[in-house]
Amino acid sequence: MTAAKHRQEPQFVSLSADEFRGRLREALEIYVDAMRYPPGTAEQRAPMWLTHVLREGWRCVAALDPHGALLGIAYGYRGRSGQWWHEQVRRGLLKARDEETARRWLADYFELTEIHVRPGSQGAGIGQELLRRLLDGVAHEHVLLSTPEGPSRAWQLYRRVGFSDVLRDYHFAGDPRAFAVLGRALPLDEPCP
């Protein structure tokens, strides 16, 4: 038997705010590795992630290995006017497109804020399952996310589940890389079991 046949399927669980806080260091480690950020990024992002937990509609799904360690994490919440990401995207849409496009996408959306899988566990369907479980039952018109430009497994995943371009080659304050903002209508076509 090959090692792949011995591999056990990950367990997917919803995390409460308290459970998320308890796994914050582990989640940020995955984030830094998956996004290829410098090591000090985790300390910078921790306070922001903790404030996200307090936002309306916050929800989180995690993938765990057989020993309970995090393999992946996804969370998001209701996007609203006044939030940093919302205002950045709105500014970009007004510059690149028009008020109607900005209003259509930003009127009623769930912000898929973070979705990351340990690099060694990528390519096994964990990201897609995290995405589906996180969005299952979300009662908003759209889901929006941002991702670095360029070919990646994340891009393949988003295209496979029907995300389209909302804004391309956008530079968020504080990150030198170009990002794409992608979106799609909700619900996803296939509900989670």
> Cα 111 vs. chain centroid, distance in angstroms?
8
Give the neighbor-by-neighbor strand order of the sheet with 164-170: 11-14, 59-64, 70-78, 109-117, 142-148, 179-185, 164-170
CA distance 67 to 124: 18
Q: Is 158 a catalytic residue?
A: yes
Active-site pick, 31, 77, 109, 158: 158
**Tokens 């046949």 correspond to what residue?**
5
Q: Residues with catalytic annotation?
A: 158
